[in-house]
Amino acid sequence: MFAQKENLQLELARWLAADILRTAIAPSWDDIGKLTAIATLRTLLNYFLQREIDGHRARHAGAADQSVSRP
């Protein structure tokens, strides 16, 4: 499950890089505005996805600690 979310983060970063390159080749104000909106949305998605991954890892580690500490 963690690997899928991390792969999604890498894919979001790759798509953002592709959009930046496309805009760098033929920039217009419309393209720059779209890129700004896309970059903002993808950054927010990545941020909240990372928070979710960290939460799952913490819960998973907590469950593992509890199972180890039980007699």
Q: Letter for the amino acid at 1? A: M
Q: pTM for this one?
A: 0.60
Which pLDDT belongs to residue 51?
93
Give the single-character DSSP code of 66: H
Helices then strands (H, E): number in the chain? 2, 0
Which pLDDT belongs to residue 47?
92
Q: Would you kindly state where each structural domain of the chain is located, as residue ranges?
A: 2-63
Mind listing the pLDDT tens digit of every residue in the chain (71 residues)?
567 777 888 888 888 888 888 878 878 888 888 888 988 998 999 899 899 989 988 888 877 666 655 55
